[in-house]
Amino acid sequence: MRAASQQVEACGRSYVAYAQAFPVRFDALAHFEAHTPSGEHDPGYEECLAAGETTQRVIATAIAQGMRDGSIRTELGSPVLLGLTLWGLMHGLIQLTVKKSGGLEREGVSGDQLIEQGFRLALSALAPASGS
- pLDDT tens, residue by residue, 20-34: 999 998 888 887 777
| The model's pTM | 0.83
- pLDDT, one tens digit per residue, over 3-16 is 888 999 999 999 99
Report the residue count for the chain: 132
Instruction: Tell me which CATH code domain 4-126 carries.
Output: 1.10.357
Q: Considering only CA atoms, which of 14, 4, 20, 21 is closest in space to residue 123?
A: 4
Residue-wise pLDDT tens digits, 95-121:
999 888 788 888 999 999 999 999 999
What does the alpha-carbon distance between residue 120 and residue 126 come to, in Å, rounded to a whole number? Answer: 10
Exposed / middle / buried, residue 71 (Cβ in 10 Å: 0-12, 13-18, 19+): buried
Domain boundaries, the chain: 4-126
Q: What is the pLDDT of residues 33-53, one digit of tens each?
A: 776 666 666 777 778 778 888
